[in-house]
Structure 1
């Protein structure tokens, strides 16, 4: 015969006891307080920043495919091939002379030597063009025929169509003030991604990392639960890409980009340049190193541009000098490359490999135009690691590092961001109570409470303050969202009473 011992059930504790209070609102004594703060930050930032992120994603979708579209639109101007009548390339000096006949009043800014199937570009400084933009004459290197007269923008040598798309993505064609929109979008994109991941991770049941990850990738359910799970699954998959876009986008933003540049300069992480100093220049005022035609981070779109060429005529620009420099550059470097004339009397020419698909290095040399001898070398492997990483990340963001595959990934990433924004607003609208009137505002996530902040909350606040120092536009809007959080709850209470 067996007996069963029944233990008396524990009497419920009064609601005012400490134990009951901890079970009612455990967030004050656990990490859930931090989760609630992140949830509300994600909620309000998503509502107000999503329009900027959406516009950046739409323009970024065009920008991602711009390099390939450019090759199609300007195919005839960009390509050349030998013929039976002209089987070999003409001297580069003769091509420069031919281009100078078209623009005799403009100063020579450089010569871009392409691959055997590409045209040669002769670049000029044109004071009528916007900053970082050069006049470019495209010549068939075999026949000497002028195949186009256009413009070239930045160190990526963007042609007018890609330049126009870039200006839209960067500033909405509104000039310097318009760049604030893209900086706001970039600064919040990574915060929304990381914050959303943390919240989603902590909501999963189970202690195993694999189990939690599987839960984050769920897409089932119905109604708002299904929309939320799909939103979270998409965010989990593309989270690394979102942080990547934030880091690279901020490097050439208006305010944060300046701060990041100062940090890189203080840590000696700047992009080095080959020295064009020659004997006899040491007593010349300002005879320092001249920038190469591919001046690293300072030469990408919208962040200073490339060289605009010398403002005065100097020696070493005659056809013979150009041919000697071109021959030396082709021996030392890989095409496509850009030759940049000296900026001062007595200085050397510089030559640098251009940024192009599947090229992970940008070596450069300085050449004595009188003798054709290399006077200085700068290999990409000698750059600081941070400068190398910056160059690669920028090219990844621009879709030029790995060609078409790079552009496809960026386009898919932009499309995923658009989908996430739409789903985010749908989730927000579905938070409204059933049967609510048209004027009822959706409820916001629960507040973290007014208890003593946890360690996690303090760490979160410190991280946000530090990030706000680097990206001031984020800091200002973050404070605005705190105010919006309070006003939102107040407005909902007023609507409920009315």
Structure 2
């Protein structure tokens, strides 16, 4: 049986309802989407920008040999006394190594070191660089957890914008190319902005949707839920990591501050301290500054070379007596990801080395999406393709705001009024499912629906309110 066709009134009510959802979604997320697209565009070209702004810290004269990793760390600590937590080794001989140092006073530093000579080239506070600022803004708007929630809500509502936008774009009065498939720039006023808005949205909806979907795994609420789902279904982090799920273990991201997405919630192993009391650091000495720990990095580097690891990797030093050396590669193409834990005392691997092939389906898909999202996977073409939705978001937001501003009554919000008889049961079911899958979005749906009802109620009361008649002083006689 086919569903009965909509009456003209039902079609109008359906269109007006979709328009109201599109309006509210745009009103909620427009400023955040502008910020995300700007900071995302900056971060797409993070290497190019850092090379241009800090060439003296990024480039070195290539050398046939490299000094030991411990010497690079020691040089960084000599220049900036404090605690070394991590070193990123370079992919090519003409690039510097970066030692992460928490100095005794001041903000954390990233210290650039020439791997050929061990000479310190300089340092930066990452959050005070252009790329660092864009990174922090893109993650949390510099507002901590509250900012992360706002960004997650904006991403969820952006999906509503995309779906309702496609429905509104779908022609009701016949197909035409100009203003639908390509911008019509000859119009004036609101018509000009509408004929720009629709085609740009049509041709970029897939790319914008891809950015949103691949960004949600990093979200503060949706991300951990995906991790739990992947772990429960066996499609997330590798089963070999489950052996470290002991009460004392800490998730990898929480322990290190950085990890491949698939392994963020993977429980960290611990070094065996039995028989190693003589290797404990002296009282008042931070563990990563202990000579035994720093010297151990050379043994770890030798172990990696023997295993055929690439030259570029991230090596995290143990931060407590039972901590471990953690090392992983994070190449532009995630198929090359490798992770290894090394006991800080025996300097032997703990467990099996984990590679991309060991990830579950969800882990593989997310890691691939992450690298495409950041423009890393396919070099410059990838960057340029991901730049398109960033520009499109600005175009769509500006044109959408312009259309609203030109049509709204003076002094009023100008939300599209509701019409009764809209048949949107399928869309409501889809929204309910999305609200369950994305709990933060579900909570916002309830809030927005309540606000919408309140606005409609107040508007209706104003329309029904009788006009007062002003009676002059002489009207009594």
TM-score by length of 2: 0.75
**Deviation by residue 1:266-325 (Cα, 9 ceiling, x = unmatched):** 444544598699xxx99x98378967975212889xx99x99xx9963889356532221
Correspondence 1:305-344 to 2 at 5 A: 313=287, 317=292, 321-331=296-306, 332-342=308-318
Q: Which of the numbers 420, 428, 448 marks the counterpart of 1:449?
A: 420
Q: Which of the numbers 21, 25, 28 marks the counterpart of 2:9?
A: 25
Distance 1:59 1:429 in 2: 26
Residue 382 of structure 2 is matched in structure 1 by 406
Correspondence 1:346-495 to 2 at 5 A: 349-354=325-330, 356-358=331-333, 360-367=335-342, 374=349, 376-431=352-407, 438-439=410-411, 442=414, 444=416, 447-450=418-421, 453=423, 455-463=425-433, 465-466=435-436, 469-472=439-442, 474-480=444-450, 482-483=452-453, 486=456, 489-490=459-460, 493=463
Residue 18 of structure 1 is matched in structure 2 by none
Moved more, 484-493 or 373-382: 484-493
Correspondence 1:206-245 to 2 at 5 A: 216-220=180-184, 222-223=187-188, 224-245=190-211
Q: CA deviation at 1:228?
A: 2.2
Distance 1:58 1:289 in 2: 32
Q: CA deviation at 1:239?
A: 0.8
Q: CA deviation at 1:420?
A: 0.9
Distance 1:167 1:128, change over 3 A: farther
**Paired residue secondary structure (1:317):** helix
Residue 72 of structure 1 is matched in structure 2 by 52
Distance 2:177 2:90 in 1: 48
Residue 286 of structure 1 is matched in structure 2 by 248
**Paired residue secondary structure (2:336):** coil
Unaligned runs of 5+ in 2: 270-280, 469-477
Distance 1:358 1:373, change over 3 A: same
Q: CA deviation at 1:23?
A: 4.8
> Contact conserved, 1:111 with 1:120, CA < 8 A, in 2?
yes
TM-score by length of 1: 0.72
Correspondence 1:95-114 to 2 at 5 A: 95-106=72-83, 108-114=84-90
Distance 1:348 1:286 in 2: 14
Q: Which of the numbers 111, 136, 143 marks the counterpart of 2:110?
A: 136
Q: How many matched pairs? A: 442
Residues 1:150 and 2:124 aligned together: yes
**Paired residue secondary structure (1:82):** coil
Distance 1:197 1:22, change over 3 A: closer
**Paired residue secondary structure (2:146):** coil
Distance 1:152 1:276 in 2: 34
Moved over 6 A (4+): 127-130, 211-215, 273-277, 287-293, 369-372, 494-498
Residue 16 of structure 1 is matched in structure 2 by none
Distance 1:288 1:46 in 2: 40
Superposed CA RMSD? 4.5
**Paired residue secondary structure (1:335):** coil
Distance 1:35 1:490 in 2: 20
> Contact conserved, 1:120 with 1:139, CA < 8 A, in 2?
yes
Judging by fraction of residues, say which structure has more helix: 2
> Contact conserved, 2:315 with 2:326, CA < 8 A, in 1?
yes
**Paired residue secondary structure (1:121):** strand
Unaligned runs of 5+ in 1: 1-20, 154-158, 206-210
Distance 2:437 2:294 in 1: 53
